[in-house]
Amino acid sequence: MIKRTLIVGNWKMNLSIAQASFLVSKLHKKIAGHRDIEVVLAPHTLALQPVSLQIDRRRFRLAAQNAYYKDEGAYTGEVSFTLLNDIVHYAIIGHSERRVYFNEDLDMIRDKVSACVRNQITPILCVGETSQEWSNGESKQVLHDQIVSALSDLTANEVAGMVIVYEPQWTITTFHGRPAKPDEVKSAVDFIRKQVSELYDDTAAKHLRVLYGGSVDEHSAGSYLRVEGCEGVLVGSASLNYQRFAAIVDSAYRKNRERADSDAKRQD
């Protein structure tokens, strides 16, 4: 099975409804549909419904940035995965900003992953270490703990269908980070897949899509997309600009064409 490259634009807490609509109209004109690339937009909750009515679902899919793990009940102000399952295909869970600013711990993230799957939404699970953990050489232990906990309620088949993003906090502009090097990304991507293989089996690890996210922009996306085993990117601020985001999608398209040409030459 050939996995489609996944490009996810996380708009975070930005754009009014009108601004979101304007951005979508620009993206429709700028980004062509590619069979081997899946483009996902993640507006804030208020914009999800109007954007869902505007997008061409043959070319774009939607993701929620967050949801509550209870399906329904007296939880004032919360939105559940149950309420989102006819709007979104994906949901971002465990993003570094949720972990840092909203104190989401391993148990909370595990419950959100389970609720996401229970409601037929594909989790985009973000994992990654802090600057301090990275400096202390604790990266692999942190990734191990985050993965084991988040996936603990899932079956092998459910894990095979989800997405995991390596999103180290020490690379994120919000936290004054520096860009990760491609070899650092490869090491983490390989480790994530190894953990899934050990927890479940090689089939789950093979079918799982592993992405990179950490201040990805139109200049760096190509180098990360060329990392073996990295099957897409999670984009933050660059996804708010249609030209920059379209350039990232173009990078994915060029990478896929290069790989297809290389495979064809080997077969000859």
| 1 confidence band (pLDDT: 50, 70, 90) | low
Return the residue matching tokens 């860009």.
179
The total number of residues written for the chain in this structure = 268
Mean pLDDT of 236-257: 95
Catalytic residue flag (residue 167): yes
Which residue of the set 38, 167, 184, 231 is catalytic? 167
Taken in order 134, 136, 139, 145, the sign of the CA dihedral is negative
Per the structure, the complete domain to which residue 157 belongs is given by 5-267
State how many domains the chain has. Answer: 1
223, HSE (Cβ side, Cα atoms, 13 Å): 14
Q: Which DSSP state fits 4?
A: P
Give dist(CA 169, CA 143) in Å, integer. Answer: 12
Query: For tokens 């942190």, what's the residue?
Result: 142
Q: Domain containing 105 — which CATH number?
A: 3.20.20.70
- Of 44, 95, 133, 218, the catalytic one is 95
Count the Cβ atoms, other than its own, within 10 Å of residue 172. 22
Reported as a single tens digit per residue, the pLDDT across 131-181 is 899 999 999 999 999 999 999 999 999 999 999 999 999 888 777 778 899
Residues contacting residue 146 through CB under 8 Å, at least 6 positions apart: 94, 106, 109, 127, 128
192-217 pLDDT, tens digit per residue, is 999 999 999 999 999 999 999 988 99
The reported pTM is 0.95
Q: According to the model, what pLDDT value does residue 245 have?
A: 98
Q: What pLDDT is recorded for position 129? A: 95
